[in-house]
Chain A
């Protein structure tokens, strides 16, 4: 499916949603499910994030490197 046809299809879905469509068709489900998947090639994903500060400390002590902490309200790897 080309980028243009995907856009047209999604616009059709939007129009359908705004008119309170009675159901989601199989084709609409498949298109939306594919569209709503994270980009696995996003650059931030190439960073080897750890999920706890202590596990980072253990690696940092062994490799003698500083710890970089990305601290947010809500988990930065998930949530939003």
Chain B
């Protein structure tokens, strides 16, 4: 989030990336574990940088590498000046020349999940609507105004249940557990089944209404919300899925600190993906590495 609004909001950085590099964005949690061609090439590059404990530590950061994997630069600093400096230094080292194209010879299925055939991909965006103290830094302001993004995957059976005018229990539970979270400041903790105190999803005349009550056992984190939305069905296909869940959230997770101290309003939107955004291709955050629990 910080990167989008700072490093990649700098015209100089953006111009360099667009004209002089081939840019790629990844969740390195996958690539440092993948036992396949993709993982091997990423680790070849990262191994030459400062973060190369692939078992125990993150390798996050910004890398520049030659097409053959030769390391050209790294920074984990978000300051656009530092990033431009890293890029310019890397460009000065790089010597263009013929390089073999690497083929995808091995694919680790655990890290190459595809949306369910006959199912749906729905964009999910969350936003904290108030409750913060005045920001004291640019980065604090970015977090406080952030709109998160994840994808909800709907199976073929759940899709057809919606078409027939009902909201399946498995879909309601998946939304409650994995998508009614505050992921606006980082990777969120998801809910456990035992933390779903109550949930009601009703579909009547194409209108979705309902409510949820989510609460950890220690009471430190909770979300109490209501919802409303619409679906459109055309030729037994869902062609629109618009939903908003809005309510009061409290608490935070290990990686979503700096939440408002008092309970705060959190709203989450759901919109059918149309494939025009590259993020539409990404698996749900809750399903990374293992879709089994997510799709059950």
List the interface of chain A (C-beta within 8 A of B).
10-11, 13-14, 17-18, 20-26, 28-29, 32-33, 35-39, 42-44, 46-80
Query: Which residues of chain B are near A44, meaning CB under 8 Å?
Result: 3-5, 8-9, 14
Report which of B65, B147, B149, B228 forms a contact with A79, defined as CB distance below 8 A. Answer: B149
Q: How far is the CA of A78 from the CA of B30 in the complex (A)?
A: 14
Q: How far is the CA of A42 from the CA of B29 in the complex (A)?
A: 26
Q: List 26 A-B contacts (CB under 8 A).
A: A17-B246, A18-B265, A20-B247, A33-B269, A37-B271, A50-B23, A51-B281, A53-B38, A53-B42, A56-B23, A61-B67, A61-B100, A64-B96, A64-B98, A65-B20, A65-B67, A66-B91, A67-B22, A70-B8, A70-B24, A71-B62, A73-B28, A77-B282, A78-B149, A78-B151, A80-B187
Q: Are B63 and A71 in contact (CB under 8 A)?
A: yes
Question: How many pairs of A and B residues are in contact by the CB < 8 Å rule?
Answer: 271
Query: Which residues of chain A are near B173, meaning CB under 8 Å?
Result: none
Q: How far is the CA of A5 from the CA of B27 in the complex (A)?
A: 39
Residue of A nearest to B229 (CB): A29
Q: Are B269 and A43 in contact (CB under 8 A)?
A: no
Closest 5 CB pairs of A and B: A36-B269, A44-B8, A56-B24, A60-B67, A71-B28
Q: Which of B87, B100, B247 has the most CB of A within 10 A?
A: B247
Q: Are A73 and B187 in contact (CB under 8 A)?
A: yes
Report which of A26, A64, A68 forms a contact with B23, defined as CB distance below 8 A. Answer: A68
Query: Which residues of chain A are near B263, meaning CB under 8 Å?
Result: 18
User: How far does the Cβ of B123 sit from chain A's closest Cβ, in whole Å?
Assistant: 8
CB-CB under 8 A for A67 and B28, given A43-B14, A72-B3, A78-B151: no
Q: How far is the CA of A75 from the CA of B242 in the complex (A)?
A: 24
Q: Are A33 and B65 in contact (CB under 8 A)?
A: no
Q: Are B23 and A37 in contact (CB under 8 A)?
A: no
Q: Are B9 and A24 in contact (CB under 8 A)?
A: no
Q: Are A14 and B130 in contact (CB under 8 A)?
A: yes
Interface string of B255-266 (1 = CB under 8 A from A): 100000001010
User: How far does the Cβ of B248 sit from chain A's closest Cβ, in whole Å?
Assistant: 6
User: How far does the Cβ of A16 sit from chain B's closest Cβ, in whole Å?
Assistant: 8
User: How far does the Cβ of B208 sit from chain A's closest Cβ, in whole Å?
Assistant: 10
Query: Which residues of chain B are near A59, meaning CB under 8 Å?
Result: 22
Within 8 A of A (CB), among B186-221: 186-187, 209
Q: Are A68 and B22 in contact (CB under 8 A)?
A: yes
Residue of B nearest to A25 (CB): B228
Q: Are A24 and B227 in contact (CB under 8 A)?
A: yes
Q: Are B23 and A78 in contact (CB under 8 A)?
A: no
Q: Does B118 sit at the interface, judged by CB under 8 A?
A: no
Residue of B nearest to A63 (CB): B22
Query: Which residues of chain A are near B25, meaning CB under 8 Å?
Result: 49-51, 69-70, 72, 75-77
Q: Are A64 and B285 in contact (CB under 8 A)?
A: no
Q: Are B29 and A67 in contact (CB under 8 A)?
A: no
Known: A43-B14, A64-B99. 20 other contacts (CB 8 A): A26-B228, A28-B246, A32-B244, A33-B229, A44-B5, A47-B17, A48-B18, A52-B38, A53-B38, A64-B96, A66-B94, A67-B63, A67-B64, A70-B62, A71-B42, A73-B60, A79-B27, A79-B187, A80-B148, A80-B187
Query: Which residues of chain B are near A77, meaning CB under 8 Å?
Result: 25, 149, 278-279, 282
Q: How far is the CA of A74 from the CA of B63 in the complex (A)?
A: 16
Query: Which residues of chain A are near B20, meaning CB under 8 Å?
Result: 65-66
